[in-house]
Structure 1
Amino acid sequence: MTQHVRDIMTSRLVTVEPQTSVTAVAQRMRDEDIGAVLVTEGDDLRGLVSDRDLVVRALAEGGDLEHRTVAAACSGDLITVTPDEDLDHAVELMREHSVRRLPVVEEGHPVGILSLGDLAIERDPGSALGDISASKSNR
């Protein structure tokens, strides 16, 4: 039976506006216990920022992080999928573009995120990644 992105995507979205400070985004990630947030303007997807993006594109640059916005740290050149796309196609896109997360959009609006962890839990729950992804946070 063919699986679709909607079958395993995370639909609980956490979004921020592009002008949000990287400090506020990092605090939001901590509070929500997540590793990525979507950057939106209104209902339109503008980017995705991960915890790694914050370190490499903001923290490593130094300076006043309270005044640096997430627009400078997010990935704006996004590869996206729709909820009805075949899950195998989503996996191919992740491999081809070396990404760990794919925003899921419907008519240009974000409705979810598909992560490598979601795939591991679904397709290889006994693997180290599947086991780690399914476990509770250690914080």
Structure 2
Amino acid sequence: MTQHVRDIMTSRLVTVEPQASVTAVAQKMRDEDIGAVLIIEGDELRGLVSDRDLVVRALAEGDDPKQTTVASACSSEVITVTPDENLDHAVELMREHSIRRLPVVEEGHPVGIISLGDLAIERDEESALGDISAANPNQ
């Protein structure tokens, strides 16, 4: 039986506007216990920023995180899938582009996100990555 992206995607989205500060986004990630936030303008997807992006593209450069906008730290060229795409295609895209998170969009509007952890739990929850991804977060 073919699985589709919608079968395992997370539909609870955490979003910010491009003008949000790196500090505000980092706090949102902490509060929501997530590693990536979608950047939207109106209801259109404009980018994705991960915790690693914040460190490598903003903090490591010495930028003031309260003054630096997330737009300068986010991945603006975002690879996406639709909810009805075959899950194997999503895996191929993640491999091909070396990405850990893949936004799910319908007509340009974000409706979900699929992560490497979601795939690990779905495909082999007994694997080390599946086990770690399913565990309660560190506090």
Residues in 2 aligned to 1:65 and 1:38: alpha-carbon distance in whole angstroms:
18
Report the TM-score, using the length of structure 2 for normalisation: 0.99
Residues in 1 aligned to 2:55 and 2:15: alpha-carbon distance in whole angstroms:
19
| Residue-by-residue CA offset, 1:57-78 (whole Å, 9 max, x unaligned) | 0100113210100000000101
| Residue-by-residue CA offset, 1:22-74 (whole Å, 9 max, x unaligned) | 00000000000000000000100000000000000010011321010000000
Kindly, what percent of the aligned residue pairs are identical? 83
Question: Does residue 103 of structure 1 match 2:103?
Answer: yes
| CA-atom RMSD in angstroms | 0.5
Shift of 1:101: 0.5
4+ residue runs of structure 1 moved beyond 6 angstroms? none
Question: Does residue 17 of structure 1 match 2:17?
Answer: yes
Counting matched residue pairs gives: 139
Question: Does residue 137 of structure 1 match 2:118?
Answer: no
Q: Could you tell me which amino acid in structure 2 is paired with residue 133 of structure 1? A: S
What aligned pairs does 1:75-94 form with structure 2 within 5 A after superposition?
A: 75-94=75-94
Question: SS at the partner of 1:112?
Answer: strand
Instruction: Tell me what 2:71 maps to.
Output: 71
What aligned pairs does 1:38-77 form with structure 2 within 5 A after superposition?
A: 38-77=38-77
Question: Does residue 30 of structure 1 match 2:27?
Answer: no
Instruction: Tell me what 1:117 maps to.
Output: 117
Q: Could you tell me which amino acid in structure 1 is paired with residue 23 of structure 2? A: T
Instruction: Tell me what 1:2 maps to.
Output: 2
Residues in 2 aligned to 1:14 and 1:95: alpha-carbon distance in whole angstroms:
24
Q: Which runs of 5+ in 1 are unaligned?
A: none
Question: SS at the partner of 1:53?
Answer: helix
